[in-house]
């Protein structure tokens, strides 16, 4: 995806500010831009021209304001991502962010009225079309049948793409998160929103999970030949824990690949207590007894709570990306991160912070005491073959950097030659 291919809507009731924003977008190479002065006009443009990738939305306007516009547009699935074009109090921004995300849209951030082109470019760079469940960018808007998805599972077309988690201080890779992608033979790489709901309805999520575990353990064995020994995190839904054979199947695969339990961590994406059963709790205990990790994913949102953090045998907390995005602008987010770090330390748990997209965010998180993080600032999800190449290149670059720093600090003549 390039900026020139983005479809953008600018909703701003102040003509001069709207003109300046559109001019900046065109300077960045954006060519397909719709302009509207109020919510009603914006909805009319979307109905006439079709959905957009990103909407710049002014919240405070006469007539239909930005809040009403976003609600109507999201109901029709006309917008994939939103950039708020209003300066609001931190608590209002947080509530609007929740509203946007609950509506199924991606929130890219807030643009100050006097923002410069680099800040605008940074916000646009956060757009991830692949992660959006109803992106009009999917090939031909194809709706896959149960048979197609089932056959793809049988053919092994669902593959893990790995996104590294990093030590925030040293920038060394700590572990890898395995994310499901459909490597479709005709339509290319497809996001999980295309196939996961169908697999869930067909009762095939467990089979996908087992395939992912096997792929991760196979990749681990392959990477060990190059000197790497990584841990993998894999997402799992709470209701899958009710499968009485779950822990047995996981342990069997670990034995098959001669892998230790601590190389796997299950990230439980939803911890609704109504979905827990005695079998679920037994699986959690057996999985931990096998040495595997258990992470409560998206902590601070959804059904995650302090009660479940204390009652269930988690040993990792994965803090939702929303807190990272609001870190600089919202003191509450900073306080929430600090409190989570203190609580996790008291409970003997580690913390992973999601959604790090800038050096500034990484530095702020370090200052709060965060140790492990993940996000596009470090690396995007990669196919296994590309991951190995990336790791080898990173190792070479890191080794050269260490040698270079030593030479620069010890020998003036070498320092002069390397600097020239």
354 flagged as catalytic: yes
Output DSSP code: residue 144: P
Among candidate residues 12, 35, 316, 354, the one labeled active-site is 354
Both ends of the chain: CA-CA distance in Å?
A: 37
In a 13 Å sphere around the CA of 185, the CA atoms on its Cβ side amount to: 8
d(CA 51, CA 41): 14
Tokens of 69: 């516009």
d(CA 315, CA 309): 9
Burial class (CB in 10 A: 0-12, 13-18, 19+), 368: middle
Three-state DSSP state, 319: strand
* One-character DSSP codes across 234-300: EEE-GGGGG-TTHHHHHHHHHHHTT--GGGEEEEES---GGG--HHHHHHHHHHHHTT-EEEEEEET
267 bridge partner residues: 235, 295
Q: Which residue has the tokens 């080794």?
A: 399
Question: Phi and psi dihedrals of 356, rounded to 5?
Answer: -80, 120
Q: Please name the residues in contact with 294: beta carbons below 8 A apart, sequence gap of 6 or more.
A: 265, 266, 268, 284, 287, 288, 312, 313, 314, 315, 316
Active site residues: 354
């Amino acid at each position: 995806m390039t900026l020139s291919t983005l479809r953008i809507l600018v909703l701003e009731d102040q003509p001069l500010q709207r003109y300046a924003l559109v001019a900046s977008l065109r300077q960045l190479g954006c060519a397909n831009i719709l302009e509207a002065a109020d919510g009603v006009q914006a909805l009319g443009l979307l109905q006439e021209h079709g959905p957009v990738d990103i909407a710049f939305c002014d919240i405070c306007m006469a007539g239909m304001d930005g809040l009403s516009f976003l609600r109507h547009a999201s109901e029709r699935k006309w917008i994939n991502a939103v950039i708020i074009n209003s300066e609001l109090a931190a608590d209002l921004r947080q509530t609007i962010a929740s509203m946007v995300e609950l509506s199924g849209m991606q929130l890219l951030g807030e643009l100050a009225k006097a923002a410069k082109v680099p800040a605008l470019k940074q916000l646009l760079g956060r757009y991830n079309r692949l992660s959006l469940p109803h992106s009009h960018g999917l090939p031909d808007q194809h709706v896959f049948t149960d048979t197609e998805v089932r056959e793809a599972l049988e053919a092994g077309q669902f593959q893990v793409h790995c996104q590294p988690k990093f030590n925030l201080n040293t920038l060394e890779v700590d572990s890898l998160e395995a994310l499901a992608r459909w490597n479709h033979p005709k339509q290319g790489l497809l996001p999980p929103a295309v196939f996961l709901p169908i697999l869930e309805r067909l009762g095939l999520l467990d089979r996908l999970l087992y395939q992912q575990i096997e792929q991760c353990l196979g990749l681990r064995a392959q990477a060990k030949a190059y000197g790497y020994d990584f841990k993998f995190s894999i997402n799992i839904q709470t209701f899958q824990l009710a499968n009485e054979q779950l822990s047995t199947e996981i342990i069997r695969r670990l034995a098959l690949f001669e892998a230790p339990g601590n190389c796997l961590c299950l990230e439980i994406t939803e911890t609704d207590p109504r979905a827990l059963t005695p079998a679920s709790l037994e699986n959690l205990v057996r999985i931990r007894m096998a040495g595997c990790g258990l992470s409560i994913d998206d902590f601070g949102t959804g059904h995650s709570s302090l009660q479940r953090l204390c009652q269930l045998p988690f040993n990792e907390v994965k803090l939702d990306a929303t807190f990272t995005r609001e870190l600089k602008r919202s003191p509450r987010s900073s306080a929430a991160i600090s409190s989570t770090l203190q609580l996790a330390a008291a409970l003997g748990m580690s913390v992973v912070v999601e959604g790090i997209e800038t050096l500034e965010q990484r530095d702020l998180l370090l200052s709060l005491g965060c140790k492990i993080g993940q996000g596009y600032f470090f690396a995007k999800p990669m196919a296994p073959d590309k991951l190995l190449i990336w790791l080898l290149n990173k190792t070479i670059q890191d080794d050269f950097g260490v040698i270079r720093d030593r030479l620069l600090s010890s020998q003036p003549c070498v320092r002069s030659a390397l600097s020239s």
